[in-house]
Structure 1
């Protein structure tokens, strides 16, 4: 039951767009967007500092004094705050427009001093909740925008807080951006593995006893698999674009790690494709099993009917209004002393003969 509850119907992702004719880079907040909160992480090889519920003043005070700055903005309701963040880090206005217009296709854009990555991430593995995340990074900063609380970045935060030697605190902003992107990609593995286990469970149940709810589960899961496929394919292309880039703020050694993340994304695509083919095969098998069961029932009913049709004919003939006194052809056996058991015995012989004939023809 718990596994069955894991398969849920997901609402389609809707992309919000600026009004027709609006100036490029116009930011329009979603009325349902969450309240914006900032978390500032200041990083150097020797130490780190985290400021929860940070403010613009914290940014202006600390950003120039630390080698790497990671600003995480949760919630996209405060357009003025997002615009101010864009001004401080010199983020391109068209990219900021894509930040607030959620539902974007995964992609990578390069600007003069920073890169912009759009992805979809799982912020709650238990309920399979997805959201858009935007990642900006340059020479000394990483800025992430999330729709709501919850993300797969806790392992990255723990690595930043761990003791030396610490690669995350030594390698710069591009490596931190890689670590965040890699965490997002790896977060897809648990739900995909859970879906694989559920598919195996459905297959075992189906082989024992095909049920209607199994078909519904498989259709819902295949819909989710198609949605994953639509996310992972452009994600793979975005990672490949990052690796092929020649911008100065992405170092060659970081591209080696990004290439590993690209391999992970390709592995996810293969897993999803395999799952989709498996579910398609199970749907076809369910239809075949249901049809075979229907044919079996129809065969049994046909055989029973074929046996009782001649018996019904015999009984019908004996049940006609004959008068043996009128003519010897009017069923003289109606007055026979053993007429009734003889008739039953004759009908039994007919039934047994039909069953033997069906077995000889291998219909039974």
Structure 2
């Protein structure tokens, strides 16, 4: 999991200036270089063009039933703007593409839909990025902040020999497959968090340690971030299923329903893990308090045993002269006075120890 003991530095996203016209595209200074990958899809054939250009899109658009354009990196806003013009994408949706801090949502336009999601970029580091999906009757366009995505299984299915469901269906089914891959990618970080929770629980049962509370609060922050992504993701999937636009077919909605079930399952896992962490935090506090009470009880008992011994030593340590008066501690002249005093004090200590055991205070 991510190191929770160190301070977290969040990169500030660059936003559109106040008062700028709607649809203004401004690149984030930290955005990665833009790279296009064009995938051309037909029931009986398949072609992939790496480092594609706008001219490749125009040259192949009419010859293929479905095309998937994957844009990795959002630095080149001019190319992104040309893509929007080539496919007639709505300017407000294009603005949301480059402002990569959008809440997961879905918007419907006349001939296409826009879906903004949060995608797992690194399950180990718990790093996420925005993935924007446009799809219409014959095209699917994805915009991601950097290279690296969970779409490799989809690419392998597309490249498989012979006709298959992914190549023979419309663009909305390809969009479903990509969205489903994004949703399923959340199982990996949630499983990692679950493993961390189990390790923390086992360590806590062996004995609470100082660093465990910090680790649990870090895990709780990660789960809160996941919850903030998964709830609007569920709403976006539900909106896709409820819509009546013709470019989302009834057959695809059946598969989107399965993806919605996955999202609900993820939310349930996150809620369960948050409840488990809450219980572990309370148990850690209880164990720490109980340990503190045990220490205080032991110190109290030790102090209680030594109180009468200290009193006896103080009495016998007074400098009285037995020659001056028979009342001035004549036992100071006893031949076995010192060992007798030690035995007497040991007897007092043993008696107190037995009394505490009898009262079950030890």
Aligned to 1:193: 191
Name the counterpart of 1:69: 67
Q: Distance in 1 between matches of 2:175 and 2:108?
A: 14
Q: How does 1:289-328 map to 2 (within 5 A)?
A: 289-328=287-326
Question: In the TM superposition, what are the counterparts of 1:227-306 in structure 2 within 5 Å?
Answer: 227-306=225-304
Hey, what does 2:213 align to over in structure 1? Answer: 215
Counterpart in the other structure of 2:99: 101
Deviation at 1:340? 1.1
Match of 1:338 in 2: 336
SS of structure 1 residue aligned to 2:119: strand
Matching residue of 2:25: 27
SS at match of 2:16: coil
SS in 1 for 2:25: coil
How do residues 132-211 of structure 1 correspond to structure 2 at under 5 angstroms?
A: 132-211=130-209
Gaps of 5+ in 1: none
- Asked if 2 retains the 8 angstrom alpha-carbon contact of 1:15 and 1:104, the reply is no
8 Å contact kept, 2:13–2:28: no
Answer whether contact 2:2 2:125 (CA < 8 A) is retained: no
The separation in 2 between residues aligned to 1:7 and 1:112, in whole angstroms, is 49
How far apart are 1:63 and its partner, in Å?
Answer: 1.1
Q: RMSD of aligned C-alpha atoms?
A: 1.5
Distance 2:5 2:102 in 1: 24
Asked whether the equivalents of residues 2 and 126 of structure 2 are also in contact (C-alpha less than 8 Å), the reply is: no
The DSSP-based 3-state class of the residue aligned with 2:26 is coil
Q: For 2:94 and 2:345, locate their aligned partners in 1 and report how far apart those are by CA, in whole Å.
A: 88
Instruction: Identify the residue that residue 353 of structure 1 maps to in structure 2.
Output: 351
Q: How far does residue 165 in structure 1 lie from its aligned partner after superposition?
A: 3.6
1:190 Cα offset (Å): 1.2
In 2, are the aligned partners of 1:44 and 1:67 still within 8 Å (CA)? yes
**What is the number of equivalent residue pairs in this alignment?**
362
> 2:223 maps to which residue?
225
Matched residue SS, 2:43: coil
> Structure 1 segments of 4 or more deviating over 2 A?
3-17, 123-129
Match of 2:112 among 92, 111, 114: 114
SS where residue 64 of structure 1 aligns? coil
User: Structure 1-normalised TM-score?
Assistant: 0.96
Structure 2 residue runs without a partner (length 5+): none
Deviations 1:35-54, CA, capped at 9 Å, x for gaps: 11100000000101000000
Any idea what the Cα deviations from partners look like across 1:83-124, whole Å, max 9, x if unmatched?
100001000000000000011000000000000000000123
Describe the superposition over 1:179-224 as per-residue Cα deviations: whole angstroms up to 9, x where unpaired: 0000000000011112111111110011102111111111111101
- Partners of 2:112 and 2:193 in 1: how far apart? 37
SS in 1 for 2:116: strand
Write out per-residue CA displacement over residues 217-248 of structure 1, whole angstroms, 9 at most, x where no aligned residue.
11111101100000000000000000000000
1:10 shift after superposition: 5.4
Task: Work out the CA distance in 2 between the residues paired with 1:53 and 1:70.
Answer: 13
**Structure 1 294/308 Cα, relative in aligned 2: closer, same or farther at 3 Å?**
same
Question: Contact (CA 8 Å) 1:118, 1:133: kept in 2 or not?
Answer: yes
Change (3 A) 1:339 1:6: closer
Q: 1:149-185 CA distances to partner (integer Å, 9 max, x unpaired)? A: 1000000000001123411001110000000000000
- Secondary structure of the structure 2 residue equivalent to 1:133: strand
Q: Offset of 1:287 from its aligned partner? A: 1.4
Distance across 2 between alignment mates of 1:268 and 1:14:
28
Shift of 1:31: 0.7
Alpha-carbon distance in 2 for matches of 1:78, 1:359 = 78
Maintained 8 Å contact 2:132/2:142: yes
TM-score of the two chains, using structure 2 as the length reference: 0.97
Q: Select between 46-55 and 191-200 the one with higher mean Cα deviation.
A: 191-200
